[in-house]
Amino acid sequence: MRAFNATSTSGRYTGIGLTDDPAASLGQTVMSSPTVFNFFRPGFVPPSKAITDANKVVPELQIVTDISVAGYQNYIRSWVPIVATKDITQNYDQEKNLAMTPDTLMERLNLLLFAGTAPDTLKAQISGAMASRPIPGPAYPPGTAASQVPTTTPTNQAAIDAALLERVYIGVFLSMASPDYLIQK
């Protein structure tokens, strides 16, 4: 919410609600952990030979399951778009202005969501996914000179704006779903 200047229409950010359903949200709700150790046992060791052999513990992996991974992605996917019926909305104006060039938009997302640390391969993958969403424009016969192509008309500007915003949604969602975003370093 901070990265995209989210605001609340009520001023109370009531749209977040409970987030403890692991299949549809985060699998935990703020201030609702069952023990002082949060949502997991501090000495948890997952069934992993490498972790056991290294005599390590990984308590946070106690709450990471196939269901919780999909639930997180479902939750994020429901929050990325601007939905007028939600109490909380994000402001993607700056990102939309960069969406015509996916690599430029990816550099902004890299700064906002990865603190500039996104690997080049991930940036290329996300940029490619954003570029796969075409921006609509009028069709002109082959060989039409650039001087003969009119500037964007108001009738298709709404479609262009929607496509640019979809590129932003794709970039934000894929960034937030990536391990490089999720793992704290």
Q: What are the b/e assignments for 103-121, b being 16+ CB within 10 Å?
A: eebbbbbbebbbeeebeee
According to the model, what pLDDT value does residue 15 have? 75
Q: Which residues of the chain have pLDDT under 50?
A: 154
Q: State the pTM of this model.
A: 0.80
According to the model, what pLDDT value does residue 142 have? 62
For residue range 73-90, list pLDDT tens digits in order: 998 888 888 776 678 889
Q: Are 22 and 68 in contact (CB under 8 A)?
A: yes
According to the model, what pLDDT value does residue 149 have? 59
Q: What are the b/e assignments for 46-65, b being 16+ CB within 10 Å?
A: eeeeeeeeeeebebeebebe
Q: Are 114 and 175 in contact (CB under 8 A)?
A: yes
For residue range 24-38, list pLDDT tens digits in order: 888 888 778 877 767
According to the model, what pLDDT value does residue 88 have? 87
According to the model, what pLDDT value does residue 154 have? 47
Q: What are phi and psi of 124, to 5 degrees?
A: -65, -40
In whole angstroms, what is the distance from residue 129 CA to residue 172 CA?
Answer: 11
Structural domain spans, the chain: 1-91, 92-143+151-185
In whole angstroms, what is the distance from residue 129 CA to residue 174 CA?
Answer: 9
Strand partners, 88: 8
**Assigned token pair, 132:** 């796969």
